A and B are shown apart, each in its own frame.
Chain A
Amino acid sequence: MFLENLKGQLNSEELKQVELKILKGAVDRAKLLSLVFALSFFVYGFTSLEFIKQFDSNATLLNNVLPRFVTNTLPFLLLAYWFRNHESRVRFKVIAWIILLPLIFSAAAMVNVWPTMFNGKSEIFLYVHAANAQIIAMSLLITAAPLKYLLGQIVAICVLFLAPIAWLLGRHNQNVLLDMFSGDMAIFIICTAYATNLTYRLRHKLACMDVMMKKKAAPFLGATLTSAIYDQKDELLRDRMVPAVVVMIDIRSYTEFVKSNDETLVQSFMEAYHTLVQRTVGEHKGCCHKSNGDGHMISFGAMDLDVDLSDIPGIEGEAEAASFNRAKTYTQRALESITKLAFSFEDLKEQFDILDSISLGVGIAFGEVKVGVLGDDEFKKELDINGRCIIRAARLEAYSKIIRNELAPDRSVAVLGPELEPFIDSELRMFQHWQTTLPQKKVPNFHELEHVLYHVFRNSSERRKHIVKLRAS
């Protein structure tokens, strides 16, 4: 029931992934089993000689060991070698295993055992009956393939391995032995198949849970961490310095808004706001690293895993142009994202009938950030970004308060570091210079900045008027 519920939550593509994962596991186990059988059948050549001699005096060590080595050990070793790569042509390998396994078992029985039975000494069967049961059980249980493959495996074993034994026993009218053989095998195969299917279901459940966990964890971890953890892409977690655009967003007059409004309204509004930020940033390929109440830290480009071309000489000029264009792209994405966010924020205020003068304060900076895993192994670790650029973005975001208070107390304001100027040529007309040389207008901690760029976003009523004006013109 639990498994059915799990399967119900997965789409067809994910179910295919689960089945493939199980088949890969089956091939991997078949490889191990092949190695075990290769050794076992070789050893059996020595250990079985004593009882074989009781029925066939001509049996020698050489004619009992050598054929087993050639027809059993060698094929099993080749199978193990073939299965060492259990990632490719998985279905074909499972089918080959299903057919080849009973054929190799039959080849083993052809060495002194079946010929002896053929010559009328059927009692030798009693000495190999337990061993046969054991190898069948091992092959079914350890492989633990999905049900349709399990049924195929049982049919193949019955037709290619057990049917000749039944025929040899029936040929000399050994009805007692035949009854014992068929009864034992029927009960034995049913029980083993049941146990195998249980094992398969357990594996299937684990595989489904794995996919489900990945699916559930993805929204919390983000695309980068999900890929790093579940797809074992460790390179995504290595420490590296990357150029990135960092955006800090905060809601202005948030404390007043919380104080003057009903808690339920504030909570509903904030839930909608957080959804809006995550969706907008995600749509523009950004990464939201942290959110704290009404504040967000976002980056564009920090989590993109770039191809390392540092070992190729002679491309420095072009690489510089590529880095410039890449920075331009990240800036473009950041600006599109905050523009959409600022307008959608106004829509959200209307939707929740909020009359308070809350707006967004945005700080944007560009520079090298260090991406790496921080934290403690025993408690908590996180993939974080660090660097001077982040502090600059935070200070610019705080600085937006000064511009907002001076120019438009109820509107959203974005402040950009001057380093972004070369990347925003087409959008430059929407940004204006703000001199920061006067002592009271300096950016805290960044007194060397002589100016910043800013843009005051229209609120919803102004936007409507602007649209009407544009249509009229």
Chain B
Amino acid sequence: MLNTLPALLLTILWGTSFAVSSTPILMFENEILPIRFFSVSLVPMIFTVTFVTLAGLLSQFSQKGIIRGKFPREALHPVYLQRRIYGMMWTQVYYFKPLYAVVLAIPFFKTYVLRLFGYRGDTDFVLYPDTWIRDLPILKVGSGAYLSNKSTIGTNICLTDGSVLVDRVILEQKSLVGHLAMVAPGVKLGPSAEVGVGCAIGIRVRMAEGAKVNPSCTLNHGSIIGSHSEIGTYANVGLRTEVGPGLKVPSGTVLPPGMVFQTQQDVDRIVESQRLDLFNQKESLAQILQRTLEHVS
């Protein structure tokens, strides 16, 4: 079963696509050379349409397995099996880069393919061929959102206990996910929220409207960023930490896990205490260095 089913599905997908796309060559056997050239030129487009349509249609049977939850990574588990089939069909399209690039280049075609694979949200958002997306039935991207190239919209994550965690990712209208940023399952970005370049956004993080996370930040699982708040570059927001609306967290700040920051004074207090800690460490290191130098001399 584990070998037969994928082999069968892939044979149907590739075989049928090649057979259908070769129709112009077989049917238009014309003596006039330009006509023959023309019929050959149709082959790639016919192949593309047939291939993505078939992949999408074959994925239909397994789309009911694309649901939220935690499932064992066992090939014969009813949900995981369907996830595998869906994933196989989607990746046939996704990793076929020239074909996928053609799909994304034509808005109508992009909508058609996304809908075939079970996507239900808006389709007028920016998506690049190397932006990783999957589990389209539980992905929701708002109108005007921007998913940069090489960003990862991870609706699933494999865990060390042998299971896979699947959760929705909601990126509201005009939200932005920067280059190389990683978004984990269950993340919700509010309207116009921004995730900077190279950020790591943990499981079930919520960012409210207009919230901004500057480049190279880490937002640990379950953290909440209030509306129009800004997290400075290289900052680290701890597990379940909550940053209230309209706050500015300076660059490099480490917000401890579970803390709730409601006012700017709360943030300033933690920054000040960290500055003091660093100063004390610097002082003690200086003393150690001085002692060592005295000892050496």
Contacts and interface: CB of A to CB of B under 8 A. Distances in A.
Interface string A92-128: 0000000000000000000000000000000000000
B204 interface: yes
A324 B159 CA distance: 25
A125 to B, nearest CB: 38
Contact of A89 (B122, B161, B222, B239): B122
Contacts of A85: 120-121
Contact of A329 (B121, B204, B258): B258
A127 to B, nearest CB: 39
Chain A contact residues: helix, strand, loop or mixed: loop
Nearest to B186: A307
A66 interface: no
A198 B259 CA distance: 53
Contacts of B58: none
Contacts of B139: none
A314 B202 CA distance: 14
Contact of A309 (B120, B143, B159, B240): B240
Contacts of B224: 307
A307 to B, nearest CB: 4
A6 to B, nearest CB: 28
Nearest to A322: B258
A285 interface: yes
B257 A313 contact: no
B222 A309 contact: yes
Contact of B143 (A89, A318, A321): A89
Given A307-B204, A312-B165, A321 B221 contact: no
B256 interface: yes
Interface string B147-175: 00000000000011100010000000000
Interface in A308-331: 308-309, 311-315, 318-319, 321-326, 329
B142 A309 contact: no
A59 to B, nearest CB: 35
Contacts of B204: 307-309
B161 A313 contact: yes
Contact of A318 (B122, B203, B206, B257): B257
Contacts of A321: 238-239, 256-258
Nearest to A85: B120
B22 to A, nearest CB: 30
Given A89-B122, A322-B238, A313 B258 contact: no
Contacts of B259: 325-326, 329
Interface in A294-349: 306-309, 311-315, 318-319, 321-326, 329
A427 to B, nearest CB: 14
A233 to B, nearest CB: 14
A306 B260 CA distance: 12
Interface residues of B, number: 27
Nearest to B205: A307
B227 interface: no
A57 interface: no
Contacts of B241: 322, 325
Chain B contact residues: helix, strand, loop or mixed: loop
B165 A306 contact: no
Given A89-B122, A309-B221, A312-B165, A325 B160 contact: no
A306 B262 CA distance: 16
A88 B122 contact: yes
B84 interface: no
Contacts of A315: 221, 239
Contacts of B59: none
B232 to A, nearest CB: 20
Contacts of B262: 285
Interface in B221-241: 221-222, 224, 238-241
B221 A323 contact: no
A314 B204 CA distance: 16
Contact of B142 (A88, A285, A313, A326): A88
B236 to A, nearest CB: 12
Contacts of B260: 326, 329
A325 B143 contact: no
B50 interface: no
Given A307-B206, A318-B220, A323 B258 contact: yes
Interface in B193-220: 203-204, 206, 220
Nearest to B256: A325
Give the most central of A85, A306, A309: most B CB within 10 Å.
A309
Give the most central of A285, A307, A318, A319: most B CB within 10 Å.
A307
A87 to B, nearest CB: 10
A24 B79 CA distance: 35
Given A85-B120, A309-B239, A314 B160 contact: yes
A309 B240 CA distance: 9
Contacts of B143: 88-89
Contacts of B203: 309, 312
B257 A322 contact: yes
A285 B239 CA distance: 21
B73 interface: no
B125 to A, nearest CB: 12
Interface of B: 70, 120-122, 142-143, 159-161, 165, 203-204, 206, 220-222, 224, 238-241, 256-260, 262
Given A88-B142, A314-B160, A322-B239, 10 more contacts: A89-B143, A307-B221, A312-B159, A313-B159, A314-B159, A315-B239, A319-B239, A321-B258, A322-B241, A322-B258
- Which A-B residue pairs are the 8 nearest by beta carbons? A322-B258, A325-B258, A322-B257, A307-B222, A326-B258, A322-B240, A329-B260, A322-B239
